[in-house]
Structure 1
């Protein structure tokens, strides 16, 4: 076999033609680009070097001035970037950074509201995709800024919350990123998301295991101010809820956030973000759990120590802002002693006195809460000498002060009136508080808030507890006038109407107040309140009526000006108002005339003495008809008997003179002028009463002893009833024959009717004084019996029969029932009149003075029912 050797070098006989290769290849081109349009066209290039060069020049152009960015917008740079998907697929990270930078610059100068919905959706779609797949730190920074800007639109924020994959990446970036700009924009984005969520959605969002709450808390002490401010905004929103289901449920997290906030404040109490730190800390301390940690871990002492060290150099505004945290902790009484010992009360007083015209609302709120501590209250009262109370009065009076501060000032004064009434009330009266309240209430709604007005009304109520102060308030007539006019304008607010009526009840005892109220349309206000749809308003006004029926002028107004009419007609609409019925009865109990017309009876407690008592022989189905007869100058068809013991001669002002040309001509000589009177004089009734008293004295049947004046002595009821019945019989027995109870014959009603007709002719009217009636049957006699019984203190009723033609009287007598302790004389002897029940009918016609048990045969015979 021959040996084969390997060739080391082989000569090449054929070489490639380089000239031809160069002719086929595209050589490098250097072109001078001087227009922006041309540069934007080059963004369609596939060459990285071209894209890098163009982006570099465009970014340099954009950085020079803001107007250049606007020029880029005009040249559709935003649309070009969206068309190219912001170069999301570029492998060169520098190109992606350039594209995102320019995108952010364009978006910074674009109002999201001006963009078309399709454009916004395109930006978000690309941004979401970019954010999910990007890992470069700078790109994520730009994307975070882009998302933060897009979140200005609430719809975008809602979309991020619903995109769970994006949200997970977003929270992971916050938790792990070390880029300050990324952290800042991400935390800002979290705040925008929280703002569009409801309480339930926020709770669900922030309690997820991967929510970066701890990272946000840590950033409170970041060295970058923007990050600190962003973190503080998020925490301020979250710390509103520190309940058992919130992100701050763990105690260690609560302590962590308090510690971070206190640390951040103590490092620089005068820092640019000190106010924001205090606001967040104050929000946290609204929770009792947070406040407990704040005191137990001596964070309170740490704050106070740094505050005292800096207090001389801190501005007044900053100093008063810092103590807002103490206004929150003062809400919890268990810490007030410790706070007062730390001179917090003095800090509040200093801010109150030094701020002009008024301090922040929380300063007065803090003082109000500190007043629950006795030592703090004494310290506040001592400040009265320095004008503290005067300052509070000027605050709630001044329209230039914000309404919340005015509300707190008025509420604080009420708190002082509760805790230190003597000092506070005396000082307020020295400051002319009636005049101050008048000018303040005069500002009216809507310049005053409802809460402020309520506090002012409470001040009036508190001062009116003292009789001397109430007199001063009542004599200041403009104050009552303003309250009455405020009532007329307040019916849109039921709680305000309720409190105005309650306030008026406290000062209505003063004569000036009553006069002003009746002059300032209180009647129309009452009518409107009675027709209100609010049960609260109807309860308030009926209670006011109950309180004011003690005064005759109000009774007259209620009857004559339609209040009683409204009460009667609207009863079916007031079934939920417990004071509606009592208000009616309260009016009627003071006016026996209207009560008898409406109820057709008078009870034991309905006394006819001391006033005119009118009884018509006609029974009215509608009491307003009789009311019109009494009010208007007309004469009824039936006689109206008038009872009055105190008018011996008619008042000249009550006489209605009839002109002579209205009288019928007569051939006879003499004076034909005459007059009539609806309130006639009655000189006879006093004489009957005097005769009755003499008879009672002869028999030793005087009025009940003073010690049992409000009770009844049953031993002499029958005897006194007998004597009164005989007096009535003697007076009204002219031309009437005596009949037997068992007979079916009626009394001579014709004789009585003729007698009344004669009296109407004599008095020229149907209004006849009862004392001149000398011929009467059951009707007239029952009225006189009731009138005389009321004068001597004998309990009796006056009842009208169903047909309206007959009146009768009933008296209370114990029924002798064996072994019935409830009817025992000893039991009933001192029973109040209001608890008595009628038991016997009084016979005034047949067996005069006899008492017939109710439902007995004799009683039914007397009433002609048997």
Structure 2
């Protein structure tokens, strides 16, 4: 039997249904449909979600809660173009919500979106993909993701899209990205300047604004400015500035011009194109204040270069700025002050401002309630008065010094710094300095010494250095408690602060009372430490140290072991012996208060004898011991020696004067002593007896009847200084000290002496009056054991 054949069906079955319209009244159903395998349903579901989400944030959050984001993120890579398009539309419109942006960031959708920008040619997909990126790029982490996934190249390419929405969205994304430095550079490197300049011609104002805003951000880079100039950027901006219909773009266009005027070449290019003339028009014409203010800022930027300032001076910009200082708007006046500050570095401009009466207008800005205007006015005055005494007087005549002193108590550090700098510039003239002091400037400056702002400290200390150039001002500084913080600034590791503090210490060092106080506060020890440091030592620290020592010869001799012929010993000098580096040397008063000890005595000098009136004597005797001010003991014996030296030494010629004075010193301190019998000379016992008799460690030098090298050399120097005879005082080792004198060996001629001067050491111990030529065997034997 053969096989039975299959019977064919009369009506074969169909594998598909006819299209069924999708009707959904709930968003939950729509979200479920996003998982459908059928493309038509996906297309309609995505479209419906787009329409639903477009109605507001509430609907967007509802879709987020229903889990719409994840399937939409998958559908933007679907094979069907319509599915991809509608999914992008839904995703783009939803991304504006903050919660959805956070969720999208977690889903890592940015690389997928950027990939589609590279490979899609659908304008609608471009529009909503860039819309999504524009929303996401507000977040810092998203910006980094977009940049790292090479999102900038397609975005820059889409700036040339025929669709205005694509351009707008791309610009918004780029603006968010270029807030970071690396993106600004990348836009330039990827050729973003030409398409941005082309967008300035757009028919849509929003695109023009966004293009200018992007240019404003990226032209802060110098290389970008160069490309901007090479691509005729100035010409395109001048076209905008010349059209009154584009007045809403003028402020932003001026800002871009400001950024790009970084060199003289750019200014010349702008000038040749008529841009500088147009800029002056903006200054003169009462436009909106923000435009006028931006135009002035442009001038300020131009005025940063010396050649540019010359060109602006030729354009009579000073006249315009003086007029703008009188307008009502604070922002315009502030910008005008900033421009004045920049132009003031050009001396002819500085003089022109003064001649036009601009300085009183700037001074008036110090009285403003606006802290920004006060800061700008203070800066302008600082620059105007820098090395310009005529301008300093103009500020003084306008009452500026009074307002500037008031600013010292202000809260804005920059204003305070400029005020201090201006006062320093003005105080170089005596009349103005006295007036500044009368306003209580010292107290204000002392308070500023506690500031943590570097420039405030630098300017404050420099101002003090100019002000405290007389005894009265230094007394004010001391009574205001200014010495302690000033000395503390010597420990600053900031070089400018340290140098300024050294200059102020140098000025204060011309007053002995102030020097003593600064030494008590440790100024000498700090400066010694500084001058031993390779990194901190400078000519300023050496100057301060030298000035302190020159005003305190006792300390100088203890530390350096040398007094020059120009160092004149006077009342109050004392010899404590050799001091070690970093060791604080006590004052004579402090030393006299110490109980008697076993150390070598302190030898003190007092050349005058005070005669008290009877009523003063009675008052001193009745005054309690604790209330009596300390004063040095009179040295009658020294006073007698000085009289004798003047009588017997002064009438002699120079060489004989040294010999006679040496013999006088030797006789006063025990006479000549043979070298071999020096050990028999009981000077130590004598000094101990004096200490016991006086019950003090301090011994007046005139009381010493048995002295050796160090005592005789000090007495010789003291008497020589009283007589006006030149000599030095040098300390050696083991109680040795000597005096060097300078003498000519030869006979005078019409052209002077016939030989060079020679240095001699005066013998005060063994053959008093002998002059031993320096570097000879005899001199070396006198100097050493």
Shift of 1:856: 4.4
Q: 2:213 is matched with which residue: 233, 236, 243? A: 233
Distance in 1 (alpha carbons) for counterparts of 2:38 and 2:737: 120
Q: 2:717 is matched with which residue: 777, 786, 795? A: 786
Q: 2:385 is matched with which residue: 417, 423, 434? A: 417
Shift of 1:28: 6.7
Q: 1:117 to 1:242 in 2, by over 3 A?
A: closer
Q: 1:680 is matched with which residue: 610, 633, 638? A: 633
1:392 corresponds to? 365
1:408 corresponds to? 376
Distance in 1 (alpha carbons) for counterparts of 2:488 and 2:522: 12
Contact 2:92 2:128 in 1 (8 A): yes
1:6 corresponds to? none
Q: 2:321 is matched with which residue: 341, 348, 365? A: 348
Distance in 1 (alpha carbons) for counterparts of 2:374 and 2:471: 32
Contact 1:284 1:290 in 2 (8 A): yes
Distance in 1 (alpha carbons) for counterparts of 2:619 and 2:534: 42
Higher Rg of the two aligned structures: 1
Establish whether residue 152 from structure 1 lines up as the match of residue 138 from structure 2: yes
Shift of 1:115: 0.9
Contact 1:589 1:595 in 2 (8 A): yes
Establish whether residue 468 from structure 1 lines up as the match of residue 431 from structure 2: yes
1:664 corresponds to? none
Q: 1:38 to 1:727 in 2, by over 3 A?
A: closer
Establish whether residue 488 from structure 1 lines up as the match of residue 408 from structure 2: no
Q: 1:810 is matched with which residue: 721, 740, 746? A: 740
Q: 1:724 to 1:375 in 2, by over 3 A?
A: closer
Shift of 1:413: 0.8
Establish whether residue 207 from structure 1 lines up as the match of residue 189 from structure 2: yes
1:669 corresponds to? none
Q: 1:646 is matched with which residue: 594, 597, 608? A: 608
Shift of 1:295: 0.6
Contact 1:601 1:799 in 2 (8 A): yes
Establish whether residue 114 from structure 1 lines up as the match of residue 44 from structure 2: no
Contact 1:485 1:520 in 2 (8 A): no
Q: 1:569 to 1:815 in 2, by over 3 A?
A: farther
Shift of 1:217: 0.5
Question: C-alpha offsets along residues 374-412 of structure 1, whole Å, 9 cap, x if unaligned?
Answer: 7754553255379413323335xx5x423xx54432221
Question: C-alpha offsets along residues 823-857 of structure 1, whole Å, 9 cap, x if unaligned?
Answer: x945656xxxxxxx742332x35543222334545
Question: Which SS does the other structure have where 1:607 is aligned?
Answer: coil
Q: CA RMSD in A?
A: 4.2
Distance in 2 (alpha carbons) for counterparts of 1:136 and 1:758: 113
Contact 1:560 1:631 in 2 (8 A): no
Shift of 1:535: 4.8
1:710 corresponds to? none
Q: 1:386 to 1:448 in 2, by over 3 A?
A: closer
Shift of 1:774: 5.1
Distance in 2 (alpha carbons) for counterparts of 1:586 and 1:341: 48
Distance in 1 (alpha carbons) for counterparts of 2:192 and 2:630: 93
1:479 corresponds to? 441
1:666 corresponds to? none
2:760 corresponds to? 839
Distance in 1 (alpha carbons) for counterparts of 2:470 and 2:277: 54
Q: 1:269 to 1:841 in 2, by over 3 A?
A: farther
Shift of 1:212: 4.6
Contact 2:47 2:87 in 1 (8 A): no
Q: 1:366 is matched with which residue: 328, 334, 339? A: 339
Distance in 1 (alpha carbons) for counterparts of 2:15 and 2:706: 150
1:442 corresponds to? 409
Alignment of 1:3-402 (within 5 A): 20=11, 26=17, 33-43=24-34, 58-83=49-74, 85-86=75-76, 88-90=78-80, 93=82, 96-111=84-99, 114-115=102-103, 117-119=105-107, 121=108, 123-163=109-149, 169-175=154-160, 177-198=161-182, 202-203=184-185, 206-208=188-190, 211-243=191-223, 246=224, 248-249=226-227, 252-253=230-231, 256-268=232-244, 271-304=247-280, 311-312=285-286, 314-334=287-307, 339=312, 344-357=317-330, 359=332, 361-371=334-344, 376-377=349-350, 380-382=353-355, 384=357, 387-395=360-368, 398=369, 400-402=370-372
1:454 corresponds to? 417
Shift of 1:205: 5.0
Q: 1:562 is matched with which residue: 493, 513, 522? A: 522
Distance in 1 (alpha carbons) for counterparts of 2:561 and 2:242: 83
Contact 2:235 2:273 in 1 (8 A): no
Higher deviation after alignment, 45-54 or 354-363: 45-54
Contact 1:498 1:537 in 2 (8 A): yes
Distance in 2 (alpha carbons) for counterparts of 1:141 and 1:306: 38
Distance in 2 (alpha carbons) for counterparts of 1:807 and 1:44: 106
Question: Which SS does the other structure have where 2:178 is aligned?
Answer: helix
Question: C-alpha offsets along residues 150-192 of structure 1, whole Å, 9 cap, x if unaligned?
Answer: 333445444444556x7655444333x2111111112323333
2:769 corresponds to? 849
Q: 1:228 to 1:646 in 2, by over 3 A?
A: same
Distance in 2 (alpha carbons) for counterparts of 1:76 and 1:781: 104
Distance in 2 (alpha carbons) for counterparts of 1:448 and 1:654: 57
Shift of 1:35: 3.3
Question: Which SS does the other structure have where 1:839 is aligned?
Answer: strand
Contact 2:387 2:425 in 1 (8 A): no
2:4 corresponds to? none
Question: C-alpha offsets along residues 287-312 of structure 1, whole Å, 9 cap, x if unaligned?
Answer: 4333221111223334545776xx35
Question: Which SS does the other structure have where 1:811 is aligned?
Answer: strand
Q: 1:381 to 1:339 in 2, by over 3 A?
A: same
Contact 2:136 2:142 in 1 (8 A): yes
Establish whether residue 590 from structure 1 lines up as the match of residue 578 from structure 2: no
Distance in 2 (alpha carbons) for counterparts of 1:728 and 1:300: 83
Structure 2 gap segments, 5+ residues each: 1-7
Question: C-alpha offsets along residues 308-338 of structure 1, whole Å, 9 cap, x if unaligned?
Answer: 6xx35x3334333334333333344545566
Distance in 2 (alpha carbons) for counterparts of 1:620 and 1:172: 78
Question: C-alpha offsets along residues 804-824 of structure 1, whole Å, 9 cap, x if unaligned?
Answer: 2x554332234679xxx9xx9
Distance in 2 (alpha carbons) for counterparts of 1:599 and 1:374: 47
Contact 1:649 1:681 in 2 (8 A): no
Distance in 2 (alpha carbons) for counterparts of 1:425 and 1:276: 40
Contact 1:460 1:503 in 2 (8 A): yes
Distance in 2 (alpha carbons) for counterparts of 1:660 and 1:88: 106
Alignment: residue pair count: 767
Shift of 1:100: 2.7
Establish whether residue 693 from structure 1 lines up as the match of residue 646 from structure 2: yes
TM-score by length of 1: 0.77
Question: C-alpha offsets along residues 674-696 of structure 1, whole Å, 9 cap, x if unaligned?
Answer: x9986222334344333333334
Contact 2:509 2:547 in 1 (8 A): yes
Distance in 2 (alpha carbons) for counterparts of 1:58 and 1:620: 91
Alignment of 1:565-714 (within 5 A): 565-568=525-528, 572-573=532-533, 576-579=536-539, 580-608=541-569, 610-615=570-575, 624=585, 630-637=591-598, 638-649=600-611, 679-696=632-649, 699=651, 701=652
Contact 2:325 2:362 in 1 (8 A): no
Shift of 1:640: 4.4
Contact 1:282 1:325 in 2 (8 A): yes
1:7 corresponds to? none
Contact 1:330 1:370 in 2 (8 A): yes
Question: Which SS does the other structure have where 2:437 is aligned?
Answer: helix
Distance in 2 (alpha carbons) for counterparts of 1:614 and 1:39: 102
Question: Which SS does the other structure have where 2:574 is aligned?
Answer: strand
Shift of 1:219: 0.9
